[in-house]
Structure 1
């Protein structure tokens, strides 16, 4: 569906000639919501509040600011970068028409215009604009769904690691309590210090279990606000979450990250790091004898740069950056959709306003996370 049948599209008309404004109003008032402005600077003031505009009719020859300049300024505004602009002017030279297109217009109607022709062109460009809006909305919804699926996948990996991490503390609690119970069952004299030590052990292990639950719960919540944290701690935290996999695969971690306070959506960054670490483990399980991951940190050109490199032999592609393309995967197992690293880059760009890159070294693959350093950080 291109547009709600009960919802009229809105057209902004900017022309310094009162007769043209009156003519356009009479021609279009029954079909569209019209915003008529006779001065280009007033038009810019009106657009500062970012009202919803579906199409702009723009005169070229106006005082102080001509239509070409006004169109260029409008197109810089992200809210109107895709809003169609039709020039409505007496200029009819080929060079004038070309100039209009070069400044961002989608069409060019010369005065005096034929009313039916103008209406037809307006209708066509509004329909195209609304169709594009629907497509963008649909793509955004699909992207959000992929993001949620990516997070659920990360939660699944975390849960798998948590269940393995719980085995040892639960075993310790069980053994400690069982030993104490046996002593009482056999009427053995129980030393007070032994009881206290057992209780301390149980409390300590319960604390560890509680900590892992908090980690899982905190990651499961939606990021609604930015928070301040230490980038080194975030990497350590991600390694702790995957400690079972690292222990099982016997991967050695070299953490060279300097302590650095940063402010952003913490869970998104953790999700990206976990995905990169999981991929590195998957590769090294099959392709590496000496298994290691090295993390480094630097600051360059107002960017905080976190680099994570593995010893897995590298990305087997001519262009390592291709690993971020949708549905591209380096894994032979067909159960993987190839969306993990694609979503990592999308999250990095759209949520963290940063960049994510990949390249190969002699030992393996490196992933570079670039996070902008701004004043409030």
Structure 2
């Protein structure tokens, strides 16, 4: 009996049903049957197998015509046939369900729904045939059309906000992946996308939008989301806790759960496309291994103490709680409410936020450690280059020291055996000794200028700085018969870290000298220009180029083209770090014309 003041009603208490496992009945049989069972108070039959028939009698007990919307609250039902009888005469047959084309529906909605017009005191009998994979809800929700439209409008607005939040987190997670190169952020993006797709499928949004999505694919998304979710969470766990490196034995259990979920995913696809009867067999396995996967992640979050593990544990625990409530409702152990589906949505959303926070905290800690390591590497590079420079100075001092030693020995011999000519020989040898000492002093001044450790930005001449750097390597460049040409104006000045710029050039020049063979045309050309408020340094040699592929890999630590005995793979990695972190610029490399070209750009 529908009274005028009633706007919404759940027909579970007034619905009678029968299970038709062997497809023995038709609508007429159900209409005439007096042996149907009365539904429980929520209409949920849980996870069960076979076709269900239901019967409901409605009467408009008001003096006004009523326009009503009847819908099954379980979005995503495969097939739902509705037969409308008036005085045992079939008036209309309505075919609903998400496995039917949208164009066949008179009233397209995310639910299996139809519109019903009842005249005053009119009575009608509704016979329904429900054919779904496992979860069966036999009752109808009846709402006044206006109430239904208002409620659905509010839902769509809220769901749009949730969708926007999902998309926002997908973009943010993917951007974090691009910046930090942490695969966990990419896994979070995938997890969000799967959860987002699942909610669109299970809430009937994909079907209602009618975007040309294959109906079987829509069903596959709904039924396989738990396995995709489990796979995503297990992969996140694997990389978040670095299990291969730190917990090898536990990782074997994770591999097992991961493999089983992948197999179930493939089995789900097989059941959907080939043998639908396998769904009833697979459904408990889906739920079992999804729950086991969640329990495994909770145990790990409790057992393994790393940065961010509390947020990880909280997210998984909340997800587990939501799944328990939802599963108990589906099994009929507790009363089923449609809101439980939204509880899953909420738990996924909370889990995503907490996983993102957990990984962000871990990344932040990693960046702190990396920053400390970079400072240490800079100092290490500084001392290493100092040792290298001392080696170059020793080469430059050999010749003048030999000359001074020769002059001193000569004067000592003359003093002993030819004292009268001592003054004459002293006058001859002093200029040579003075020149040698001046050369040694000049070398020391160059060394002192280079390692003055000015850590502040200062105005300096790049050409003068490079001349000092080249002078430090003059012995090695002479040995390699290399000519270094500077295409930089003498009055050109910049404001930046002079020591950093010099250190970068020292590393590049020294690498070229190592690669040069002794020949007549060893050339290094260094140019520096100002172009559109950006300094561009171009370094070019003809040492044969870099053989490593891809060539950009030469900037990675411990990657060297010199071989294990002579190269350590730190120099160019240090150059890249100095350019990006200290000069706030960029560096690129390419082979060209029998050599290599480095291009360094940084803001004025």
The structure 2 residue matched to 1:148, chosen from 368, 379, 388, is: 379
State the Cα distance separating 1:161 from its structure 2 match: 0.8
Please, which of 188, 195, 198 is the counterpart of residue 419 of structure 2?
A: 188
Using the TM superposition, give the Cα deviation of residue 335 of structure 1 relative to its aligned residue in structure 2, in angstroms. Answer: 4.7
User: Quick one: distance in 2 between partners of 1:360 and 1:141?
Assistant: 33
Q: Give the counterpart of 2:594 among 363, 371, 377.
A: 363
Pairing partner for 1:165 from 396, 408, 428? 396
Secondary structure, counterpart of 1:189 in structure 2:
helix
Give the SS at the match of 2:445: helix
Q: What TM-score, normalized to structure 2? A: 0.41
2:164 to 90, 99, 104: 99
Aligned to 2:507: 275
Q: Secondary structure at the match of 2:466?
A: helix
Gaps spanning 5+ residues in structure 2: where?
1-155, 174-191, 193-342
**Alignment partner of 1:315 out of 539, 546, 553:** 546
Whole-Å separation in 2 of the counterparts to 1:365 and 1:122: 47
Q: Give the secondary-structure state (helix, strand or coil) at the position aligned to 2:419.
A: coil
Matches within 5 A, 1:1-377: 93-100=158-165, 127-190=358-421, 195-196=426-427, 198-259=429-490, 260-285=492-517, 290-373=521-604
SS in 2 for 1:314: coil
Q: How far is the alpha carbon of 1:165 from its aligned partner?
A: 0.6
Unmatched tracts of structure 1, length 5 or more: 1-90, 108-112
Separation in structure 2 between the aligned mates of residue 289 and residue 195 of structure 1, nearest angstrom: 40
Residues in 2 aligned to 1:337 and 1:182: alpha-carbon distance in whole angstroms: 49
Q: Secondary structure at the match of 1:326?
A: coil
Q: Distance in 2 between matches of 1:127 and 1:291?
A: 54
What is the CA–CA distance in structure 2 between the aligned matches of 1:181 and 1:163, rounded to whole Å? 26
| DSSP-derived class of the 1:316 partner | coil
Task: State the partner residue of 2:133.
Answer: none
Rounded Cα–Cα distance in structure 1 between residues aligned with 2:525 and 2:399:
27
Distance 1:333 1:124, change over 3 A: closer
Q: Matched residues in 1 for 2:463 and 2:350: separation? A: 61
Cα distance in 1, alignment partners of residues 471 and 501 from structure 2? 15
- Indicate the SS of the match to 1:285: coil
Alignment check: 8 A CA contact 2:588 2:598 kept: yes
Q: Which has the higher contact order (CA 8 A, sep 6+)?
A: 1
Question: Does 222-231 or 244-253 show the bigger shift?
Answer: 222-231
Q: Is the 8 A contact 2:538 2:598 kept in 1?
A: yes
State the distance in 2 between where 1:215 and 1:100 align. 60
Shift of 1:312: 1.3
**Which structure has the bigger radius of gyration?**
2
More off after superposition, 97-106 vs 332-341: 97-106
Residue pair 2:534, 2:601 contacting (<8 A) in 1 also: yes
User: Partners of 2:414 and 2:431 in 1: how far apart?
Assistant: 18
* Distance in structure 2 (CA, Å) of the matches to 1:258 and 1:170: 35
Name the one with the larger helix percent.
2
Shift in Å, 1:168: 0.9
- Judged with a 3 Å threshold, the aligned counterparts in structure 2 of structure 1 residues 132 and 254 are, in CA distance, closer, same or farther, namely closer
CA contact (8 A) 2:450 2:469 kept: no
